[in-house]
Structure 1
């Protein structure tokens, strides 16, 4: 049995995204939101690829590619990072897992990230391999109680590894990295232990309401403007985009910030935002919230404030702070 069979048995509705079939919802989005907020939500992020970097130069190579201090990572730890262009703009988001003898990198754009890595390998003794593993997320205040029925938990921002599982923990829940051939069995055990299946529709509503950015907001933007400055280490050098990051740290002259939008109607993702005829930003992820209606994350000029009125494709919308009220 494969993971797709489990989704089908749960009456999933699929959505195609970047050539992947994404579990979108299971028929009751409000119940799925409740699981994210109050229970233990099980989400399938198998569309996020997994790369392994190994070799004597693996640490230095990865350190010079991303915004995080890889040299300072301890074995059995993990972090969230960014991969920038030479102009300091975000090209990829990633999770980095230090397994001691190698690094694993998970990213929603893993194929393109692997191509980037190979382009920059010159004399480095490092090998890049795509791993046939799946990525599952157990999320919510009940996540740890469910996971403890299956395995011992690592400390927050730590990980534990067995031959057939890597388990990483953060403040909201846990990531399960598992061989694709065993993902069905693991997901089934988590559901039997009390987890609830949740699709990406509810996931995006949850994170938009809380102001948590993802690739639709981040791609092509500066980390400081996309709400992802926390993934940038200003104490390291020698990485792509580092000169721009140092300049921004010194001068702090960013023009945009991540904010929320409350719309009169559905807000199209990627649409331009105007105020008094002047372009002031763009829409990132747009969702329909059962609680707030049409809402979105947006990159907006820093002079805008909560309560300001803007227009998206001729319709009025209200600027909101984050998290949303």
Structure 2
């Protein structure tokens, strides 16, 4: 459940479930809210799962388990993947070195099982795992004025200098960690992490103090990230091969990692990707899973689609075969073929570029 249900309700929120956790869907007029975020700044509460990792071997243990290099310096983090025995994504995560502990942010449905799985696989290592989702609140701040917004309310420190680094300071009377994130909405972006007890104060400060920020929910988040060409866990990433997603920011190609129970020397999938994640301009919004055809050949499937408030037209992400016929694309919508055109990602150029923008070599 969201940490601030009554506060969100006072703002007119409607709710839905994401990964088993109740989150804000929207506060009404989501297209207008979307434009406000794109033009100025907005704030939302995330539904992350949180794992706290402690012990002398905490960095080595997590570093050996995931696809990216876990930093050993306080105040730095990484985006990483946990792969299954077939090299497909079991979960993605952000790992932050917070001095004597690591904070691991996962999709909400993954935190409890991942903490238990890692605990079961410890032998002589000095490492402990605690699923601590209910102890924290995490708020995202996005928009071309996000840096100005954070600077207007953050005390005792400045804004973080680089992506996936953080600074400790205060918002109002609450202690917070402010993370410069990887711009998944295609705009300047920060995460603000605080204790659950301070969540109401921090959210009020983000929305109403200094430079005001419009509150927004997951419906707007999904259209922002779609316009930015950002794959999300539930719709594009889970169960996929990293190379097929072009998800190179999650991979350190020189390190080993655990894939299931076995250590491998490199996590890059051998050979060319079999698929690629692309953007489509479409005449109508297809459902997730809608088939994409080139002529009579099935060449892929839609992962998600929405009406883009900024383009004022439907857009979609789709997994298409790496090699496909040079024919016009069609999507089946309610059994009828509808024209689609592949377009370059991102769909919209914002104040920043998503670090997950698909990249293929």
TM norm structure 2: 0.81
Q: Distance in 2 between matches of 1:323 and 1:145?
A: 24
Aligned pairs for 1:172-191 (under 5 A) are: 172-191=188-207
Query: Does the Cα contact within 8 Å between 2:279 and 2:345 map onto a contact in 1?
Result: yes
Q: State the match for 1:237 in structure 2.
A: 256
Tell me which residue corresponds to 1:150. Answer: 153
1:321 aligned to which of 344, 352, 360: 344
Q: Deviations over 1:222-245 (max 9, x none)?
A: 112113122100011143277495
Q: Deviations over 1:182-237 (max 9, x none)?
A: 11110001111211111111111111112111111011111121131221000111
What is the match of residue 102 of structure 1? 101
Alignment partners' CA distance in 2, 1:190 and 1:253? 44
Deviations 1:277-313 (A, max 9, x none): 4332222232222334332211111225998413235
Where 1:217 maps in the other structure, the secondary structure is helix
Q: CA deviation at 1:16?
A: 2.4
Query: Structure 1 CA distance, aligned partners of 2:45 and 2:326?
Result: 34
CA contact (8 A) 1:87 1:244 kept: no
**In 1, are the aligned partners of 2:16 and 2:23 still within 8 Å (CA)?**
yes
Paired residue secondary structure (2:191):
strand
Question: 2-side partners of 1:210 and 1:306: how far apart?
Answer: 26
How many angstroms does 1:246 deviate by? 4.8
Cα deviation, residue 67, structure 1: 0.8
SS in 1 for 2:114: helix
Contact 1:42/1:136, CA 8 A, preserved across alignment:
yes
Residues 99-138 of structure 1 correspond to what in structure 2 (within 5 A)?
99-108=98-107, 109-131=110-132, 132-138=135-141
Deviation at 1:164, TM superposition (A): 3.5
- The whole-number CA distance in structure 1 between the counterparts of 2:343 and 2:325 is 8
Quick check: 236-245 or 201-210, which moved more? Answer: 236-245
Distance 1:63 1:229 in 2: 17
Q: What runs of 5+ residues in structure 1 fail to find an aligned partner?
A: none
- TM-score under structure 1 normalisation? 0.90
The match for 1:11 is 12
SS of the residue corresponding to residue 267 of structure 1 reads coil
TM-align CA RMSD = 2.4
Match of 1:261 among 280, 285, 299: 280
Spell out, residue by residue over 1:107-149, the C-alpha distance to the aligned partner (whole angstroms, 9 max, x if none): 1132232233233223322111122101110111111111112
Q: Which moved more, 1:265-274 or 1:49-58?
A: 265-274
Please identify, of 34-43 and 61-70, the stretch whose mean Cα deviation from structure 2 is larger: 34-43
Shift of 1:11: 0.6
Please point out which of 216, 229, 232 is paired with 1:214: 232
Could you tell me how far apart the structure 2 residues matched to 1:283 and 1:106 are?
A: 27
Worse overlay, 141-150 or 109-118: 109-118
Residue aligning to 2:23: 22
Distance verdict in 2 for CA 1:97–1:196, change over 3 Å: same
For structure 2, the residue ranges without an aligned partner over 5 or more in a row are 349-361
Partner of 2:353: none
Q: Is the 8 A contact 1:307 1:320 kept in 2?
A: no
Residues 77, 307 of structure 1: CA spacing in aligned structure 2 closer, same or farther, 3 A cutoff? farther
Q: Is the 8 A contact 1:266 1:287 kept in 2?
A: yes
Of residues 275-284 and 217-226 in structure 1, the stretch that sits farther from structure 2 once superposed is 275-284
Residue 52, structure 1, aligned to residue 55, structure 2? no
Task: Quote how far apart the aligned CAs of 1:273 are.
Answer: 3.2
Partner of 1:186, secondary structure, is helix
